[in-house]
Amino acid sequence: MAPATPSRKPLMAGNWKMNNTHLEAIKLVQQLGFTLKEPDYEAVEVVVLPPFTALRSVQTSVEMDKLALRYGAQDVSPHASGAYTGEISGAMLAKLGCSYAVVGHSERRQYHNEDDALVNAKVKAAFANQVTPIVCVGEGLEVRKAGEHVAYTLAQVDGALEKIPAEQARSVVIAYEPVWAIGTGEVATPQDAQEVCGAIRTRLAELYDGDLADQVRVLYGGSVKSGNVAKIMKERDVDGALVGGASLDPGEFVKICRYRDLPA
Ligand SMILES: O=C(CO)COP(=O)(O)O
């Protein structure tokens, strides 16, 4: 029987994008690791998403210092192995202890022409290796101005989850990142974030039976900072944040993870 209340642990994920060498990554992870304490990890799941080249160093830091921090990659190949120069497989990520892989980030969709079919193949490749995909969806400014942002974003959700069975979809993370809010300092209002995150959950309830929609974490991303995170996290269908720029500053990212202490 479906639980009366959803059991979604808030998730704060720092997408470092193409920043930090493996040495800088060790420093940043140690700064986070020495600051965040047991109660922080009880309240939120904390994840960092370094570039591929830093994953091995992050794995070593996390293991040596016994940090409760999780980490993942920013992309994953749709292929299992073979002649795919430059690609990194889900099995390779799993071997590095990655819990997550970002899939379909708008920067990949924009600069590498990734479409929903490719995103779907990457979601499958991640799940095939017990790596949880963080599927990014969200509209650009033109779509928003035309008032089509909900339909546009839901079509991306449908595409990403095509033929994904419920037992996998149950653990997927979906990040709503309106492209116009990424790296621009222009954050969506909490109401904007709720409108689309709520619509995503409703769609999940249409796609899958039972309590699945109540279990899936839906994040907001786009210019999240310590100054706006608490307000956004008050929205009922926002279960965390995918943080870009602000995740490169350990003090700022720790504050974001401790959003409960910030005035909303
Ligand atoms: O793209 C993002 C996270 O994936 C958001 O980036 P910013 O937080 O820098 O706007």
Spot the catalytic one: 177, 195, 235, 252.
Answer: 177
Q: How far is the CA of 239 from the centre of ligand 1 (A)?
A: 16
**What span, in angstroms and rounded, lies between the C-alpha atoms of 134 and 264?**
26
Q: Using the atom order of ligand 1, give the atom closest to the CA of residue 185.
A: 10
**What span, in angstroms and rounded, lies between the C-alpha atoms of 176 and 119?**
15
- 107: pLDDT strictly greater than 90: yes
Q: Specify the pLDDT at position 193.
A: 97
Ligand 1 pocket: which residues have CB below 6 Å?
Answer: 15, 105, 177, 182-183, 221-224, 242-246
Our CA dihedral for 54, 59, 62, 66, rounded to 10 degrees, sits at: -170
Which residue owns the Cα nearest ligand 1 atom 2?
A: 244
pLDDT, tens digit, for every residue of 180-226?
999 888 888 999 999 999 999 999 999 999 999 999 999 999 999 99
Q: Using the atom order of ligand 1, give the atom closest to the CA of residue 246.
A: 8
Structure-token pair, residue 176: 């709503």
Which residue owns the Cα nearest ligand 1 atom 3?
A: 244
> Which of 103, 134, 176, 177 has the most ligand 1 atoms within 8 A of CB, as the residue to mutate?
177
Annotated binding residue 16:
yes
Q: Is residue 105 annotated as part of the catalytic site, yes or no?
A: yes
Q: Is residue 162 annotated as part of the catalytic site, yes or no?
A: no
Q: How far is the CA of 133 from the centre of ligand 1 (A)?
A: 17
Which residue owns the Cα nearest ligand 1 atom 7?
A: 244
Q: How far is the CA of 228 from the centre of ligand 1 (A)?
A: 14
- 227: pLDDT strictly greater than 50: yes
Give the residues across from 137 on adjacent strands: 176
For residue 4, the tally of other CB atoms under 10 A from its CB is 7
pLDDT, tens digit, for every residue of 136-161?
999 999 999 999 999 999 999 999 99
- What b/e string do you get for 138-165 counting C-beta neighbours within 10 Å, with b at 16 or more? bbbeebbeeeebbebbbebbebbbeebe
- Average pLDDT of the chain is 96
- What b/e string do you get for 236-262 counting C-beta neighbours within 10 Å, with b at 16 or more? ebbbbbbbbbbbbbbebbbbbbbbeee
Q: How far is the CA of 4 from the centre of ligand 1 (A)?
A: 33
Structure-token pair, residue 3: 């639980």
- 1: pLDDT strictly greater than 50: no
- 246: pLDDT strictly greater than 50: yes
For residue 116, the tally of other CB atoms under 10 A from its CB is 18
pLDDT band at 259 (very low <50, low <70, confident <90, very high): very high
Backbone angles phi, psi at 193, to 5 degrees: -60, -45
pLDDT band at 6 (very low <50, low <70, confident <90, very high): low
What was the ipTM of the complex prediction?
Answer: 0.99
Which residue owns the Cα nearest ligand 1 atom 8?
A: 244
pLDDT, tens digit, for every residue of 31-87?
999 999 999 999 999 999 999 999 999 999 999 999 999 999 999 999 999 999 999
Task: Give the chain's domains with CATH numbers.
Answer: 11-261 (3.20.20.70)
pLDDT band at 231 (very low <50, low <70, confident <90, very high): very high
pLDDT band at 3 (very low <50, low <70, confident <90, very high): very low
pLDDT band at 5 (very low <50, low <70, confident <90, very high): low
- 2: pLDDT strictly greater than 60: no
Which residue owns the Cα nearest ligand 1 atom 6?
A: 244
3-state SS of the chain?
A: CCCCCCCCCCEEEEECCCCCCHHHHHHHHHHHHHHCCHHHHHHCEEEEECCHHHHHHHHHHHHHCCCCCEEEECCCCCCCCCCCCCCCCHHHHHHCCCCEEEECCHHHHHHCCCCHHHHHHHHHHHHHCCCEEEEEECCCHHHHHCCCHHHHHHHHHHHHCCCCCHHHHCCCEEEECCHHHCCCCCCCCHHHHHHHHHHHHHHHHHHCCCCHHHHCEEEEECCCCCCCHHHHHCCCCCCEEEECHHHHCHHHHHHHHCHHHCCC
Q: How far is the CA of 191 from the centre of ligand 1 (A)?
A: 19
